[in-house]
Structure 1
Amino acid sequence: MEPQLLHDITDEVATVVVHHPAKRNAMTAAMWRSLPPLLEDLAADPGVRALVLTGADGTFCAGADISTLRGSPEEAQRLAVLAEEALAAFPKPTLAAVRGHCVGGGAQLAAACDLRFAEAGALFGVTPARLGIVYPASSTRRLVSLVGPATAKYLLFSGELIDTGRALRTGLVDEVLPEGQLTGRVTEFTRVLTSRSQLTQAAAKEFADGRTDRDAHWAEQARGSGDTAEGVTAFLERRAPRFSWSVR
């Protein structure tokens, strides 16, 4: 099978799989290009309420396919940043499910997700210093926002890999699961996400990502949504809420 991004939708969760197992799921230029339009389609699908990004055959993503850097490293980096920004801008909750290596461009993609769950034994690294590449400013800021400046500098200066214990302590990942339990936990957690208010999630995502100028917009959305009334009523009636607001 050619290197590509696979996807399916099950129970309102879109799963995007990085598939290039011959090179530990390294991203080719074509794969970088294909991610933004795929995300645009999934964002517009009312049947999608959350997205999971993962890799095939026990590895998340070992970065960019180095062979694509020989001709034009600037173009390769531009494509990676466009893909990263498209993932960060996805309007519904995103979760990276990480096994094995999550390195270079793989770490770039994982950092662009809202949440990161990892299987014990996964390894993380931000490796431009091994190739003499200037890591993009936007990617650096996103990494700093996750792990703080000291850990970001450690990763960027050294290009060393860190294990799940250190990744959890520094905030690079949110949960670490024993071997064999990642899929079940991701399924369980995304079921929780799809049961919650998309209104709350969309507003919280914007605010957490630094959009502080949209209070009035979200107040207006809340007034017209009916989600608050439904949430309170469902709580008092001891039933699951049926939220109606959706990302458009």
Structure 2
Amino acid sequence: MPPNARELASGSCMNADLHLSREGHVAVLTIDRPEKRNAMTAAMWAALPGVLAPPARDPDVRVLVVTGAGPSFCAGADISDLLGGTDPDDPMADLRRDNLAAQAALRDFPKPTVAMIRGHCVGGGMEIAASCDLRFADPTAVFGVTPAKVGIAYPPSSTKALIDLIGPAMTKYLLFSGELVDTAAALRAGLIDRVVPADDLEAEVRRFADVVASRSALAQRATKEVVADLVTGGDGEAVAGRWYRETISAGELAEGVSAFAERRAPRFRWSG
């Protein structure tokens, strides 16, 4: 993102390899271990919910972009941490707990999230990308889910995130084989939403993020909660009804209709 984007404070939960910045209404979370293809350490997984908390609360942040430093998005969990837990009968217990909490924090982020993907998006990187609302990639991106290569049973929540994106058969294909797929295959499967030329990716993500930031944050929050309710077996009616009433009481609906009639850009004030 632009070099003049300012750093966001994240309190004591900030990790040296997770950087937050903001320009305008767009916050950017950068995974910054390019020498390791941005592999996530145990400390990074543990820190991620705390890093996400300030932009989640900040009324000036309307969109979160998640990306990796250098030529890769994230090559997964740092394999040196896989057996580093304190329980000899379950050496991955601590890592699994923090990994799942990090995914949940990203899935539950109250504002639209976009993964901007170059290069490797594998294993834990795919978990991060799948936890975002949308995924934009350039043609260098490759995708894979590799627990079968190291003898790990993939957790149900991560499996469901894949099923929601690409269906059960493609989920099995990726999990059975651990093979990498290119952007063309990922786009056909629904694993990603857009493929953008490498030289244009950052500008296009920024353009799209600015468009999203200009829309009704209340309507977007409603969309996130209704979709979440529907994919978890609800009918969405109670959630949608609550947000519909909120659009009226907050003045968002009136402002949107007035702006349309007056042929001007709406000035939405609700920030969530």
Selected match of 1:231 from 253, 256, 269: 256
The residue that corresponds to 2:80 in the other structure is 67
How far off is 1:4 after superposition?
A: 1.1
How do residues 69-148 of structure 1 correspond to structure 2 at under 5 angstroms? 69-71=82-84, 72-148=91-167
Provide the C-alpha distance between the structure 2 equivalents of 1:195 and 1:109, rounded to a whole number of angstroms.
Answer: 25
How far off is 1:70 after superposition?
A: 2.0
The residue that corresponds to 1:37 in the other structure is 50
Instruction: Say yes or no: does 1:187 pair with 2:210.
Output: no
Q: TM-score, normalised by structure 1?
A: 0.96
Segments of 4+ moved more than 3 angstroms: none
SS of equivalent to 1:203: helix
Q: TM-score, normalised by structure 2?
A: 0.88
CA contact (8 A) 1:88 1:113 kept: yes
The residue that corresponds to 2:59 in the other structure is 46
Stretches of structure 1 that go unaligned for 5 or more consecutive residues are none
SS of equivalent to 2:229: coil
SS of equivalent to 1:214: helix
Task: Give CA-to-partner distance per residue, 1:187-231, whole Å, 9 cap, x none.
Answer: 110010000001110001111122524233212212211111111
SS of equivalent to 2:94: helix
How do residues 199-238 of structure 1 correspond to structure 2 at under 5 angstroms? 199-210=218-229, 212=236, 213-238=238-263
Stretches of structure 2 that go unaligned for 5 or more consecutive residues are 1-14, 85-90, 231-235
The residue that corresponds to 1:24 in the other structure is 37
Provide the C-alpha distance between the structure 1 equivalents of 2:128 and 2:189, rounded to a whole number of angstroms.
Answer: 18
How far off is 1:161 after superposition?
A: 0.4
SS of equivalent to 1:210: helix
Task: Give CA-to-partner distance per residue, 1:30-81, whole Å, 9 cap, x none.
Answer: 1111110111111100110000000001110000000011222222122111
Q: Superposition RMSD on alpha carbons, in Å? A: 1.2
